[in-house]
Structure 1
């Protein structure tokens, strides 16, 4: 490599994961965070009487929890590294499925907007795993990362189906009780 010490690593190098232990550690964090965020979105949709989309988010949370359980089973017997949050190798500034679009999430969002946020995050998770599969030299890491990318692609397909069934974009609801912000 012709890289000096002061240059940042390339995207490929900074996202390189070469051990099953490191992949499992990243995947577990991603899936647990994802499940928590989907539960939050479901709660928000329920509060705003959108039971259908709340149900979708609950289903996605359950899928994330199932993926986490499968990863835990796969990691059984492995010594997973304790990775500080600032050393996680995500595609987004923070976790791929959690904070990428937090500024877009608000209590007045429509179901379509909520689905787009989830789709954005699932696409980033798929790209994260696919990038690992594409760049690793380890066959076991490649196989597991490819499997995880396929699972995230299934989430993307599910969300695209839901988006296709949504009625045309509605305007966000009027805020009859806006936050009290001092001027």
Structure 2
């Protein structure tokens, strides 16, 4: 990837999808009666919405395109946020919810890091590194929660 505007179109889509996924997980944990994890996923959805707003703001003076599904440059043609997303069902417990979220964050981190590692554009490299670092923070928060669960 060599275009900041195209990158921002991808980032906006990823962060919008992440917020939706976290909202689904928060609702599922509320249904399960896990208020603590519901609050955590609600907080994570808030972070995703914050990152979405930042991505939109960075596009401010730029022409960020509306990409058609076939125009996205995703690994294997599928958004990292929705790849392997099985959704939320009645059997999803706390461990499963955290693993599902962690898998999504890992894929998004890998995508941002790959853009940073391969782009020749210095501005895009810095931006992708910043987004990858944010995903790394999300991964760390999820791993901490996951490891805190009883075996």
Structure 1-normalised TM-score? Answer: 0.79
1:148 alignment counterpart: 131
| Structure with greater contact order relative to length (CA < 8 Å, sep ≥ 6) | 2
CA distance in 2, matches of 1:39, 1:125: 17
Q: Which runs of 5+ in 2 are unaligned?
A: none
How far the C-alpha of 1:103 sits from its partner, in A, is 2.6
Instruction: Summarize deviations over 1:41-82 as a string: whole Å, max 9, x none.
Output: 111110111111111111110010000111111111100122
Report deviation, 1:101: 2.6
Distance 1:92 1:107 in 2: 29
Written as runs of structure 1 = structure 2, the 5 A alignment for 1:72-151 is 72-91=56-75, 94-97=78-81, 99-103=82-86, 105-151=88-134
Q: CA deviation at 1:93?
A: 5.0
Q: Give the counterpart of 1:42 among 21, 26, 32.
A: 26
Q: TM-score, normalised by structure 2?
A: 0.94
4+ aligned runs moved over 3 Å, structure 1: none
1 CA distance for matches of 2:22 and 2:89? Answer: 14
RMSD value over aligned CA atoms? Answer: 1.3
Q: Which runs of 5+ in 1 are unaligned?
A: 1-16, 169-183
* Partners of 2:103 and 2:76 in 1: CA distance: 11
> What residue in structure 1 maps to residue 12 of structure 2?
28
Relative to structure 1, the CA distance from residue 91 to residue 52 in structure 2 (aligned partners, 3 Å threshold; closer, same or farther) is farther
Q: Check conservation: 1:93, 1:100, Cα contact below 8 A.
A: no
Cα distance in structure 2, aligned partners of 1:64 and 1:92:
23
Report which of the two has the higher share of helix.
2
- Rg larger in 1 or in 2? 1
